[in-house]
Structure 1
Amino acid sequence: MRSSLKPTRSSGNLFDAVGRSRTTADEQVDALVERGGVTIERIVSTGQASPPGFWYDSPRAEWVVLLSGAAVLEFDGDPEPHPMKPGDHVLIEAHCRHRVAYTSDTEPSVWLAVYYP
């Protein structure tokens, strides 16, 4: 017996609308998938960085890959910055305090971030 439910599908291109007519100074964050405690986001940074003294401290783990541009992450307690170029990825465990020290302002830095419990 076949199910009468149709499979759902969502598709797109991670680079669509990147770098087109920015209207705010904020990063562009688009949730692509949210299911069962997992969130996948596309983040487009164009020169943004964490404010001085600000640290992310998420209750969920985050795996992030930089697809284009350039960035530098900093981790609380680690004196060495973590520069990133396209293709670099990092797993940030839950409650690992970190910040974005730099993103390129000459080309968009496109991130794919996966958050999970």
Structure 2
Amino acid sequence: MVNIFDHAMPERGKENIEELLNKKNVVINRIVSNDVQNGEWYDQSEDEWFVLLAGEAVVEFEDKEKALSKGDTFFIPAHLKHRVKSTSQKALWLTVHIL
């Protein structure tokens, strides 16, 4: 058993990614972000759904940005190029990848 809020804080500008479940066609991760700026671009072969449990973030796509705050959820279909443009300190995400 894991408490979603019991985690280590990465150094400023970094993220910690911890796989919580990997079963059949689903992978669930906990991501802790600490003041991340201009993260790497992703073009994933799987769908992704996430919820921002704490903090604030901006996710950037090739043609727009989405500002997120605590409690916001979002779905990113496979091959939609995106990145984390910025996060607050202590941003906490739960991501679900559907393979």
Same fold (TM over 0.5): yes
RMSD, aligned α-carbons:
1.7
**Deviation at residue 37 of structure 1 after TM alignment:** 2.2
Q: 2:44 aligns with which of 58, 61, 65?
A: 58
Unaligned runs of 5+ in 2: none
Q: Decide whether aligned partners of structure 1 residues 114 and 89 sit closer, same or farther in structure 2, where only a CA change above 3 A counts.
A: same
1:82 counterpart = 2:80: no
2:24 paired residue number: 36
Q: Matched residue pairs, number?
A: 99
4+ residue runs of structure 1 moved beyond 2 angstroms?
22-26
1:96 paired residue number: 80
**Deviation at residue 12 of structure 1 after TM alignment:** 1.5
Structure holding more strand per residue: 2
Percent same amino acid among aligned pairs? 37
Deviations 1:77-106 (A, max 9, x none): 23xx2110010010000000011111013x
Unaligned runs of 5+ in 1: 1-10
- Taking structure 2 as the reference length, the TM-score comes to 0.90
Distance 2:32 2:19 in 1: 12
The answer as to whether partners of 2:13 and 2:33 remain within 8 angstroms in 1 is: no
